[in-house]
Amino acid sequence: MKSYIFPGQGAQFVGMGLDLFEKSAQAQELFLQANEILGFAITDIMFEGTPEALKQTKVTQPAIFLHSVIKARVLGDGFQPAAVAGHSLGEFSALVANKTLSFEDGLRLVAQRAGAMQKACELNPGTMAAVLGLEDSIVEDTCKNIDGIVVAANYNCPGQLVISGELAAVNTACDVLKEAGARRALLLPVGGAFHSPLMEPAREQLAAAIANTTFNKPIAPIYQNVTASAVSNPDEIKENLMKQLTAPVRWTQTMQQMITDGTTDFYEVGPGKVLQGLLRKIDRTVNASAAEIEV
């Protein structure tokens, strides 16, 4: 059984999508349409901008979304998923790829998400840290016993859990986790405390936009970050998506559930190979590769 997975923030690189633009008329049309919808030439930044310009949240999120979604479109008849999933931002790419959302609506939501998250970061400053080499339960229990806000945010693979919250609380948690035997507990170069209660203002703003957007019946179920289970009901997909910004990304559990449900081959659609690397740490018995296109 074939499933397709879509990466999140951090997979961007200068030059992303240029090959698609140059070789596919369909891709070209979608990229130019995106420039109009966003109100700025994101293609200039993606294809030949600076790494700094590409790192801005308002650019990064739409850029990764566009690369993933347009690549899935260019796959054409080759894109026949039994199921889809996306890591954080990648969930929006997955929802356009499986036709729950239109290209235009998906892009507008991603642009609003990026703007709302940026505002929330300014309102409630925070950070994230990667914790390596500990059981999830130890990390979870440690976070519960720290003064201030710090929570488990990204379950990336066994032995790799990202925590998120207030700067002081995350720093304290890192110290305690190192004492508890973590191989590493290091702060990440991110703009804020994603997937934590500090994102509540962004969640409210995005939830209102999601509520006013049409969600269609998908062509294949999506395994969502919040539940790590297959969902096909548009209303249920909408509800889960509204919770995503303040809830953890249960990626390990999602991949394990997809494998239990019969997925044997995973294809990563978008920039980079991050998800393929995580999958190999989750279960080496399944195939993980990039979705290749012939244009």
Q: Which one of 68, 88, 164, 196 is the catalytic residue?
A: 88
d(CA 275, CA 272): 8
Q: Taking a C-beta distance cutoff of 8 angstroms, is the pair 90, 69 a contact?
A: no
Name the token pair of 241. 């998506």
d(CA 178, CA 102): 45
Residue 41 identity: A
88 is a catalytic site residue = yes
Residue 123 identity: L
137 is a catalytic site residue = no
Residues marked as catalytic: 88, 195
